[in-house]
A and B are shown apart, each in its own frame.
Chain A
Amino acid sequence: MADDNLMPNDDLALYIHVPFCAQRCNYCDFCSSTDVSMIEDYFEVLITHISSAAWLEDRHRLRPVTSIYFGGGTPSLSHIHLISVLEAIRNTFELSDDCEITLEANPESFRAESAADLAAAGFTRVSLGVQSLEEDQLATLGRIHNVDEAFQALHVANGAGLRVSADLMLGLPSSEESNIQGSGILTEHPLFDELLSLVGHVSVYPLTVEEGTVLQKMEDADRISLPCEDEVAAQVIDLEQVLARRGFTRYEISSYARPGQESRQNLRYWQGGNYLGFGVSAASMTTDSAGCHRRFVMYDDVETFLADPKGKGLAPAELDVLTFAETQRESIMLALRTRKGVSITSVEAAGLAGICRELVEKGLLEVVDGCYRCTQQGWLLANIVFAAIWVGNT
């Protein structure tokens, strides 16, 4: 789709999933396993897939890779393997000179020695799962690190010369026995400024209690109490304002960055850029010659993944082939997660001008520089905006 805000797609991004954790967090419903005995096999298969998976078309191999993201799970569990995977990627793909290479890391497993190795291997960025500055909240979330370890990791990352992002959560629970320092509001925490001085990027998610998680059981048993909708909304607004004063721009619904510190990979997801996912439950998105999006996940559990060591291209576990009209709607919906938004021209081409004008009237969208974008209210009520665009709900 011709749009300045959408990717031209002559390049490519890669996503590598590492589904292992030392311990599952209480809120987590992602694909992850604590059975670390499979790590060796997993990476062996992963490397084979990257080099020679049958579904990996030649045309993809010819495009420069401009960003790579190692997510999980806990990729930082075994940095040696990450380096081998990166090497396999270099042998298969052409990496651009400024390629952004990020790994997700948990503070307790991000040590100085491994950080230096990773930086030397070409990693440029680390996203650290800090989540909270309150010990009690970390414990409730089932995190195995403490606040002190989080700061050590932040220093290690800076020391290794990596760009640093911190993952934080809002709307966190309190429990009866909890012992919150100060007001309990993240931005008023005594360590908040120190945290900001160590990062160029922050990702913030309001906690969602997912089905089947430990946290849901805790909530059902009334062991924790979650802040109400209004409180969480107030926390989001407060954080945005405080971060703006500290020089962080909310460039995407849940991401804030100092100038030049935006995550290329993150923007790519929302701006229609292609990416290939390797590993279990890794999502890919490609565009066919007619401009239609095609989304797929090849393997949805570790067993199926390991059962296809050569990457012979079984039927994908999930496949979503979009029509051109769906592609247009999806692209607009996703672009509305970004601060730039989407051009009026694209909206008109997709026949969504009426819906977008309605959303403007409701105060959820605004027009800036020839583009529709979400207002602060629109980002808080993003589901309404997305549903309006994707399924025509208003």
Chain B
Amino acid sequence: MNDNNGLEYIRNFSIIAHIDHGKSTLADRILQSTDTVAERDMQAQLLDSMDIERERGITIKAQAVRVMYTANDGNVYALNFIDTPGHVDFTYEVSRALAACEGVILVVDASQGVEAQTVANAMLAMNANLEIIPVINKIDLPAADPERVRVDIEESLAIPAEDAVLTSAKTGEGIPDLLEAIVARVPAPTGTPTADVPLRALIFDSWFDEYRGVIALVRVMDGVLSQGTQVRLMANGAEADVEEVGVKAPHDIVLPALGAGSVGYLVTGLKDPALVTVGDTVTTVDNPADKALPGYREIKPMVYAGLYPLDGDQFTDLRDALDKLKLNDPALEYAPETSHALGFGFRVGFLGLLHMEVIQERLEREFDIGLLATAPSVSYHVYLSDGEILDIHSPQDFPDASKIDHIEEPYLKATVLVPPDYVGAVMELAQGRRAHFIDMQYLGPNTVEMLYEIPLGELILDFFDQLKSRTKGYASLDYEFSEYKASELQKLDILLAGKPVDALSFIVHKDKAYERGLVLTRKLKDIIPRQMFEVPIQAAVGSKVLSRTNVKAKRKDVLSRCYGGDVSRKKKLLENQKKGKKRMKSIGSVDVPQEAFMAILKVDD
């Protein structure tokens, strides 16, 4: 074992890719071919430990694992590799992982070629000065065209690809070549793995374990992180004893110490998640470092939504659950919010819609909290006539229109990669979403890069799904925050049975208010079940009603024939109906299903 010395036998690398290009399968294959995981323990997407990750075939959390590999030169190398998410919502996870590495494997699908997140992730790696090994994966597919993809990588990314490794994670072809390439091309880490040098270890991930407290994944940059020493977290000054260090292989292997260049885990017994923040530097109390390592770029939520427990009694459970998720998801932000319609809940900030879905699903599954989510909105800068500036995360907090001087909304710089045939379709969609065209260029004969500035508030309205469906799935999208710009925005209220429902309000551009109001009232009419009385649905800006429709009163609701006195079965039906009703929220006397709050998002059908 050469964990504390011999830096030349360590390689730290990440795998980056566009979503679905085969990252997690490639990781599985590396684990198998190095005998890290016995055949009988192998399961697909081994590093994706969350149910949601496996079910959806996505990676959400970065994961680190150590693999021992005997190279062709006869030496045994410790390969520390870190699996990263491919979806744009989780770009920050990638940047966290990259800070722990000297190299990356850039996986590109042999039939799909370079896509938007391939570009975005490659940029992150280049900016971090990492060695990039291009890998053309899925070469077993009938539609695979490695030569075209090679050219694509060189043209689109300006990365030399003549020695790209060709693999099929599915069949295992090319995996030995890849392992050799990692050893040969990823630089060995630098640093001094001796105890006399002040310790500096970067926390790049952390999570809460019910029994052991906070567990951190660290990359040791200088010195030695030893069990039993007293350490300090440099950002907040918290001190603790090192209870345990080790590596994930992928099960925990306890080690006496982790030396510079190593990647591993750290257990301190600290119970407060807020103290162990990702990006912080660990040093020793006895021989502290002068300067912390550079942290990560700060991550800010992009979209906000209200999360309310269906059962009001679960408010504190929801708060505790959010506290726990926040632990290894620094991007998650939340503050209590009260809605007349929905009661007590939280305004939660997310990186994007997928992040929101994942958090919602984790809260429901892992914490068993039934949730009602309101439609996501963005953060607006509202300038009042008296000079005050408000940062508003929720439509219900909007001040009265008469007090507003002007409003600014966040714009994104969006990059769409698309085959030339679909340029028109993208333009049409972008125009309908108030996007400003910036530039367009051919990255190769089959790929056009289109740049837009688009209001985030429009992008979260089903934009990605629409983009995919209008381009037959060919378009890919990446975006980053651009700036706040003034827009003529209005708050549109929805009234049920004459009463405004705060949780259904949303912010809309003045030119779109009528159309969106009409679409939404029609949708709500279909979603809200018939009640005992007629329910008028209105969309209004201020006191001006833009559209109106009615949910008719329920006329008939009888159980089918009760046969031969078989009462028990009918009672079960009634009980099941009650369960169905639990998924609804009573607002005033109107039962409103969960979908109603998300109906705002679907504006184009």
Residues of A within 8 A of B (CB): 15, 17, 30, 69, 71, 205-206, 208, 210, 229-230, 232-233, 236, 253-254, 269, 275, 277, 281-283, 285, 295, 297, 318, 320, 330, 334, 362, 379-384, 386-387, 390-391, 393
Contacts and interface: CB of A to CB of B under 8 A. Distances in A.
A379 B556 CA distance: 8
Interface of B: 530, 532, 552, 554-568, 570-571, 574-575, 577-578, 581
Given A383-B577, A391-B575, A269 B565 contact: yes
A295 B559 CA distance: 19
A71 B575 CA distance: 27
A391 B578 contact: yes
A383 B578 contact: no
Contact of B567 (A30, A253, A285, A382): A285
Given A283-B564, A297-B566, A381-B554, 8 more contacts: A17-B564, A30-B563, A269-B567, A275-B565, A297-B568, A380-B556, A380-B558, A390-B571
A229 B554 contact: yes
B557 A381 contact: yes
Nearest to B578: A391
B556 A236 contact: yes
B550 to A, nearest CB: 13
Given A205-B561, A390-B571, A283 B556 contact: no
A380 B557 CA distance: 6
15 contacts: A205-B560, A230-B552, A233-B556, A269-B562, A269-B567, A295-B568, A330-B567, A330-B571, A382-B558, A383-B557, A384-B554, A387-B574, A387-B577, A391-B574, A391-B575
Nearest to B571: A390
Nearest to A295: B568
A316 B504 CA distance: 50
A219 to B, nearest CB: 15
A15, A205, A210, A381 interface centre (most CB from chain B within 10 Å):
A381
Q: Across chains A and B, which 10 residue pairs bring their CB atoms closest together, nearest first?
A: A208-B560, A233-B555, A383-B557, A283-B566, A320-B568, A269-B565, A233-B556, A391-B578, A382-B558, A381-B557
Contact of A71 (B563, B570, B577): B563
A15 to B, nearest CB: 5
Given A232-B556, A382-B557, A383-B557, A277 B571 contact: no
A311 B351 CA distance: 65
Contacts of B574: 383, 386-387, 390-391
B558 A253 contact: yes
A128 B561 CA distance: 16
Nearest to B572: A320
B581 A393 contact: yes
B585 to A, nearest CB: 14
Contacts of A334: 567
Contacts of A318: 568
A383 B558 contact: yes
A232 B558 CA distance: 11
B578 to A, nearest CB: 4
B593 to A, nearest CB: 15
Nearest to A169: B561
B568 A380 contact: no
A30 B569 CA distance: 12
B568 A381 contact: no
Contacts of B563: 30, 71
Contact of B556 (A210, A277, A381): A381
A390 B555 CA distance: 21
